[in-house]
Amino acid sequence: MKTGKKSFSFIFFNLVLFSIVPALIMWHRPDIKHIQVHISAPVTIKKPFSRNDIYDSLHLGEAGLSRVAYEVGLAGLSQLDSSGDIKNNNILSIVDLSLPSSQKRLFVIDLNACKLIFNTYVSHGRNSGEEWATRFSNDPRSFESSLGFYVTGETYFGHRGYSLRLNGKEQGINDNASSRGIVIHGASYVNERIAKKQGYIGRSEGCPAIPKKLHRVIIEKIKNGTCLFLYSPDKFYETHSKMRLFPTS
């Protein structure tokens, strides 16, 4: 009898044990419905800025650059790039001849870095006008500036010192640039002191001459296949340019 009672007690104890322990485990188990899974929010990658926005981003209007000059310059760069004329489409240089020569009217813009690299004085041809450039020509010996789009070439040392060749890309507008010897070079007559003294800087034979103290660094930055645009709100240029970048009335 004692052996039977012990067996019954052992069996009863195990039944109680195996029924209570799972209950205790479940009691300490968190409710799955209340578990929160934290997932990091997706990283928003900012899209590259539009080159059209750079004019406002850099406050180029406050610096004096015409919005039309920038927008037409950007469109011309795109067109030349598409035709394979441009080797470096990140640099756009604009000479805004709607400004007097007493103002800094050369704008060299790094479109990729969204940065105005240089803003300085630049001359126009001596027969284009005194303070303002109002006459333009593609003719040899005219000593006038030629408007339109150019692609920069190689550098060389000539009688004007370290210089940069320019290739005029607009037929009948500036395609005589090479034969005319139109290049970018440094000139002592292009400086702020002269501008303040007489109201305008010195003039060239048609070249966009720049300050001596800056000409080397500027030439090094824009040489070998970048876009240069000489702008003026000139009706002849707007109606005769075959690049057709201006709206037609």
Q: Residue for token digits 């320019």?
A: 166
* Mean of pLDDT over the chain: 87
- The answer on pLDDT for 1 being more than 70 is no
pLDDT for position 158: 93
* Banded pLDDT at 44 (limits 50, 70, 90): very low
* Banded pLDDT at 157 (limits 50, 70, 90): very high
Mean pLDDT of 184-193: 97
pLDDT for position 54: 96
Mean pLDDT of 173-189: 98
pLDDT for position 247: 79
Mean pLDDT of 57-83: 97
pLDDT for position 14: 52
Nearest-5° Cα angle at 241, 75 to 81: 35
Distance of alpha carbon 71 from alpha carbon 68, whole angstroms: 5
- Reported pTM: 0.81
Mean pLDDT of 49-74: 96
- Nearest partner of 185 among 164, 159, 156, judged by Cα: 164
For 112, half-sphere exposure in the C-beta direction (CA atoms, 13 angstrom radius) is: 4
For 202, half-sphere exposure in the C-beta direction (CA atoms, 13 angstrom radius) is: 15
Q: Is pLDDT larger for residue 44 or for residue 14?
A: 14
pLDDT for position 45: 40
pLDDT for position 49: 72
pLDDT for position 249: 58
